[in-house]
Amino acid sequence: MTARAKSVVERTFQSVNTLFCQHVRGYKGANTTMRGASVDADAVWTVGQLQDLFDEWVIAGWQPRPHDALRDPLLGGRALSPNEMYAALVASAGYLPVTLCGDDYLELLPAEWRSIQDYGVQLDHRTYDCSALNPYRRQPSGAQAKRGLWEVHYDPYDLSHVWVRDHHAGGWITVPWTHLPMVARPFADFTWRKARELAAARGLDDTDQAQVAAVLAELLQRAGNGPAREQRVVARTRAAAATSLRPEPQPDPSAAPEAEHSTDNDQPQSGEVVPLGVFDPLSEAAWP
C-alpha cells in the first residue's frame, strides 16, 4: 500500500497527468500551486467527453509513443512503442484468440465485499439469499486482507441476482434477490435508484426493500404511460436486459417446484455436437 510497491502504476499515472490531464481545460493540478485562476469556470467537459478525449489520446498519443523500457535486441535495442512491441511479440510467439466464458464475464463485473448473515447478503438496501449460502452464514471467507468478508459481484444492468465467490470450494454461488417475485423481471441500477426516488417522494421508506419493490414493479409496468423521464428509465432498463451477456442464473433447487413427469416424446431431440479444433497456421499453410 505504498508508492514504491506499485512504482509502475504510479509512473503511468504521472505520464497520464503530464501528457494528457494538464492539457485538458479545467485541470486543477495535484495541489493549489499548480491550479489555474478560474478552473471551475473552465471545467466544461462532461465525464463522457473526458472519456472520449482520453481514449483518443491513448490511441493517438500513448500507444505510438516509444517507451524506454520497451526494447527488442533483434531490432537494434532501440526504444519501441507499445504498438511496435506488441507486433514484435505476436511475430515471435503467435496469437491465439481465446473465447471468454461465463466465469470470465462474472470476473469482470463490479465487486463489493459483504458478510453472509442469517438473512443472506445485503447490497444497497436489497437482500439476496438462497440455500447454497447455508454452510457459510456468519462464517469468514478466509480473505484476510478483506477482514473475512465475501466477494460479491453484481451486474449494474440486472440486479435481480448477485454472484458470491465461493472462497472455500471455488466457483460462484448465484443468489437471487429475495423480493424478485414482486418484480418478476430484470432491472438495472438506475431503475432501482429511480424507484427509491419515487418511493421517497410518496412518503415511503426508501430503505425498505418491500416498499421500493412495489414501486419498482409499478414503474416497470408503466411502459407507455407516465412522465417522459420515467419512460426513458423503462426504455433503458429494457435495452439493458436485451443486451446483457451474463450467464443465465440457475433456479434454487430447494425452492423449485416439483417437475411434472414427462415421457420421452415430450423431450426435444438434441443433435450431435461437433467440437471445433484450435486454429493451426502451420497446418493451414501446408494445404494445397
Nearest Cα to Cα of residue 254 among 141, 166, 164, 130 = 130
pLDDT in tens, 74-131: 888 889 999 999 998 888 888 888 788 888 889 999 999 999 999 999 999 999 999 9
CA distances from 66 to 70, 73, 90, 225 (A): 8, 15, 18, 57
Give me the chain's average pLDDT, please.
Answer: 81
Q: CA 288 to CA 273: how far, in whole Å? A: 29
Per-residue pLDDT band at 230 (split at 50, 70, 90): low
The whole-number pLDDT of residue 91 equals 87
- Asked if 132 and 183 count as a contact pair (C-beta separation under 8 A), the reply is no
What is 234-266 written as a DSSP string? HHHHHHHHHH--SPPPPPPTTTSPPPPP--GGG
Across 36-45, 159-168, 243-252, least confident range: 243-252
Q: CA 223 to CA 230: how far, in whole Å? A: 9
Higher-pLDDT residue of 274, 28: 28
What's the 3-state SS for 146-176?
HCCCEEEEEECCEEEEEEEECCCCCCEEEEE
